[in-house]
């Protein structure tokens, strides 16, 4: 039996109203869900960016603590000092590479300056202000000059002009094996307590900082 007339119209109207209300609720839920998802995505992106910034800051801080350089003016002084009467002057890149190699946590590097006998760089203890490590810097034009200049520092006793670390800049394409052989030829009594690092004029580290006794045969 088919319902018609006013009663049928009432039922249709109620159904339409119900469907409309449900559609409205669905739209509201969809909007709220969409907004919530956008909020979650935004929060997630903000967290990613914050974490990335933190990682970058930590990396920069760690890099600064591992490889700090003294003021540019002091590096320039060291470069200028080793450019006098030198066939292959100390380069900016060489000086910076040497500083990065010899630095020790908890110290501040200080360039002693021109016309000063003994070490070229002092690593000062940040707490006591006392010298922790001494560094002699050399810039040579070849293997023969390398041996001569290293021997010159080794001939001076530690604390009496001799340095804890001998840092040498050599020409590009220098033979590392030949340089290592030169180091191995120095007597045990000369190299006790001494370390060496060798870089080229472009700042490439040929022999990382290490005790000279490592080269003994």
Residues 158-207 have pLDDT tens digits of 888 889 999 999 999 999 999 999 999 999 999 999 999 999 999 999 99
| Domain co-membership, 80 together with 62 | no
Single out the residue in 11, 32, 66 at which a domain terminates: 66
| Domain co-membership, 23 together with 10 | yes
What secondary structure, in 3-state letters, does the chain show? CCCCCHHHHHHHHHHHHHHHHHHHHHHHHHHHHHHHHHHHHHHHHHHHHHHHHHHHHHHHHHHHHHCCCCCHHHHHHHHHHCCCCCCCCCCHHHHHHHHHHHCCCCEEEEECCCCCCCCCEEEEECCCCCEEEEEEEEECCCHHHHHHHHHHHHCCCECCCECCEEEEEECCCCCHHHHHHHHHCCCHHHHCCCEEEEEECCCCEEEEEEEHHHHCC
Report the pLDDT value the prediction gives residue 13, as an integer from 0 to 100: 61
Supply the DSSP symbol for 186: S
Cβ neighbourhood burial of 99 (10 Å; 0-12, 13-18, 19+): buried
| Domain co-membership, 75 together with 29 | no
| Domain co-membership, 162 together with 76 | yes
pLDDT band at 87 (very low <50, low <70, confident <90, very high): confident
| Domain co-membership, 58 together with 165 | no
Question: What is the domain count for the chain?
Answer: 2
Report the pLDDT value the prediction gives residue 61, as an integer from 0 to 100: 45
pLDDT band at 112 (very low <50, low <70, confident <90, very high): confident
Single out the residue in 25, 49, 66 at which a domain terminates: 66
Single out the residue in 49, 66, 83 at which a domain terminates: 66
Asked whether residue 90 carries a pLDDT value surpassing 70, the answer given is yes
CA angle at 104 for the pair 103 and 105, rounded to the nearest 5°:
125
| Domain co-membership, 111 together with 87 | yes
Asked whether residue 33 carries a pLDDT value surpassing 70, the answer given is no
Q: Retrieve residue 127's tokens.
A: 């707490």
| Domain co-membership, 92 together with 48 | no
How far apart CA 112 and CA 177 sit, in angstroms, is: 32
| Domain co-membership, 81 together with 40 | no
Residue numbers of the domain that contains 204 = 71-215
Interval 37-57 mean pLDDT: 64
| Domain co-membership, 87 together with 181 | yes
| Domain co-membership, 196 together with 124 | yes
Q: Retrieve residue 196's tokens.
A: 């060496």
| Domain co-membership, 76 together with 61 | no
Q: Read off the pLDDT of residues 117-163 as tens digits, 9 standing for 90 and up.
A: 789 999 999 999 999 999 999 999 888 889 999 999 999 988 888 89
Report the pLDDT value the prediction gives residue 60, as an integer from 0 to 100: 44
Q: What does pLDDT average to over the chain?
A: 79
Choice among 68-77, 95-104, 163-172, 176-185 with the minimum mean pLDDT = 68-77
Neighbours of 154 (CB within 10 A): 22
Asked whether residue 104 carries a pLDDT value surpassing 50, the answer given is yes
pLDDT band at 101 (very low <50, low <70, confident <90, very high): very high
Phi and psi dihedrals of 125, rounded to 5? -65, 125
Asked whether residue 53 carries a pLDDT value surpassing 80, the answer given is no
pLDDT band at 29 (very low <50, low <70, confident <90, very high): low
| Domain co-membership, 99 together with 159 | yes
């Amino acid at each position: 039996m088919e319902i018609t007339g006013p009663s049928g119209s009432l039922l249709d109207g109620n159904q339409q109203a119900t469907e409309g209300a449900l559609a409205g609720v669905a739209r509201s839920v969809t909007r709220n869900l969409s907004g919530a998802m956008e909020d979650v995505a935004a929060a997630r992106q903000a967290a990613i960016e914050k974490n990335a910034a933190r990682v970058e800051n930590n990396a920069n801080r760690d890099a600064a603590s591992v490889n700090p350089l003294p003021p540019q003016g002091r590096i320039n002084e060291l470069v200028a000092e080793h450019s006098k009467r030198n066939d292959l002057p100390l380069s900016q890149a060489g000086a910076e590479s040497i500083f990065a190699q010899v630095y020790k946590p908890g110290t501040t590097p200080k360039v002693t300056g021109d016309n000063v006998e003994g070490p070229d760089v002092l690593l000062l203890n940040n707490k006591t202000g006392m010298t922790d490590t001494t560094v002699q810097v050399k810039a040579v034009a070849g293997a023969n000059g390398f041996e001569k200049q290293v021997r010159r520092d080794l001939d001076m006793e530690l604390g009496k002009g001799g340095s804890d670390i001998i840092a040498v800049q050599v020409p590009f394409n220098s033979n590392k094996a030949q340089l290592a052989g030169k180091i191995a030829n120095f007597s045990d009594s000369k190299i006790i307590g001494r370390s060496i690092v060798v870089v080229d004029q472009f700042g490439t580290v040929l022999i990382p900082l290490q005790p000279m006794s490592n080269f003994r045969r």
